[in-house]
Chains A and B, each alone.
Chain A
Amino acid sequence: MPHINLPSEFPGIRSLFMYRPETAAPLNHLVQTLLHDPHPTLSAGERELIATYVSRLNTCKYCSNIHGAIAKHQLGGDGELVELVLADPDTAPISTQLKALLKIAAKVQAGGKQVNADDIAAAREAGATDVELHDTVLIAAAFCMYNRYVDGLATWQPDDAELYDKMGKQRASEGYMTAPFKVNRTEQQLQNS
Chain B
Amino acid sequence: MAHIKLKNEELPGIVGLLNYRPETARPLLDLAETLLRGESTLTSGEREIIAASVSYWNQCHFCHTSHAAAAVAHLKSGINLIDDIKAGLPNTPVSDKLRALLHIAHQVQRNGKNVTDDDIAAAREEGATDAEIHDTVLIAAAFCMFNRYVDGLGTWAPGPNEAYLEMGERMAHVGYGKY
Contact = CB atoms under 8 A, between A and B. Distances in A.
Contacts of B154: 115
Interface string B1-44: 00111000000000001001101101110110011001100000
A49 interface: no
Interface stretch (A21-29, A163-171, A178-186): A21-29
A138 B24 contact: yes
Contact of A154 (B30, B35, B59, B115): B115
Interface in A73-129: 104, 107-109, 111-113, 115, 117, 120
Contacts of A113: 59, 151-152
Nearest to A19: B134
Majority secondary structure of chain B interface residues (helix, strand, loop or mixed): helix
Ranked nearest first, the 10 interchain pairs of A and B with the lowest CB-CB distance are A151-B112, A112-B151, A145-B145, A152-B112, A141-B148, A148-B141, A112-B152, A26-B30, A30-B27, A29-B27
16 contacts: A19-B134, A26-B31, A111-B148, A115-B3, A115-B151, A133-B4, A134-B20, A134-B153, A135-B21, A142-B145, A144-B148, A145-B145, A148-B111, A148-B137, A149-B137, A152-B140
Interface of B: 3-5, 17, 20-21, 23-24, 26-28, 30-31, 34-35, 38-39, 58-60, 104, 107-109, 111-113, 115, 117, 120, 130-131, 133-135, 137-138, 140-142, 144-154
